[in-house]
């Protein structure tokens, strides 16, 4: 089964074959403001049928992650490490609810301890 995430205007479309055990809700200063729900995966499991080269990256804080958003509608689409490592996350809030229903949501303390709160 392929999971699909699409920004509001439809310009950015991502697909993944990843089978996550949970989604991550982070409380760091940025994720809290974005309201994102992260589906972590390996970049090799992700394809961009449209919009990959159009997203705009925002880099803050320790400058390790690039948070990408659609330049048209502003939806936060995904993040990638700036070192292009083997991890990334897709904003699961851009997926149809039925695609992620039943997945556990783990709360990550990105503000202080950098550990899961459960």
Phi-psi region of 73 (alpha: psi -120 to 50; beta: other; left: phi over 0): alpha
Q: How many CA atoms are closer than 13 Å to the CA of 92, on its beta-carbon side?
A: 24
What are the DSSP calls for 56-89, one per residue?
EEEE-TTS-EEEEE-TTT--EEEEEETT--S-EE
Q: Which residues, listed in sequence order, are joined to residue 76 by a DSSP beta bridge?
A: 69
Report which of residues 84 and 101 the model is more confident about. Answer: 101
pTM higher than the cut 0.85: yes
Angstrom distances, CA of residue 63 to CA of 16, 23, 75, 81:
26, 23, 21, 9
3-108: which CATH architecture?
Beta Complex (2.170)
Q: How confident is the model at residue 99 (pLDDT cuts 50, 70, 90)?
A: confident
Residue 30 binned pLDDT confidence (cut-offs 50, 70, 90): very high
Q: Is the pLDDT of residue 51 over 80?
A: yes
Q: What is the mean pLDDT of residues 19-46?
A: 96
Which range, of 10-14, 75-79, 80-84, 112-116, averages the lowest pLDDT? 80-84
Task: Tokens for 6, please give them.
Answer: 């699409």
């Amino acid at each position: 089964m392929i999971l699909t995430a699409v920004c509001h205007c439809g310009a950015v479309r991502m697909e993944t074959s990843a089978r996550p055990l949970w989604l991550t809700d982070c409380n760091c200063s940025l994720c809290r403001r974005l309201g994102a729900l992260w589906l972590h995966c390996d970049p090799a499991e992700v394809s961009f049928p449209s919009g990959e080269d159009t997203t705009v990256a925002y880099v803050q804080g320790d400058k390790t992650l690039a948070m990408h958003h659609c330049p048209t509608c502003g939806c936060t689409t995904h993040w990638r490490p700036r070192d292009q490592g083997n991890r990334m996350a897709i904003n699961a809030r851009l997926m149809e609810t039925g695609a992620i229903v039943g997945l556990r949501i783990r709360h990550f303390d990105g503000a202080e301890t950098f550990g899961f709160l459960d």
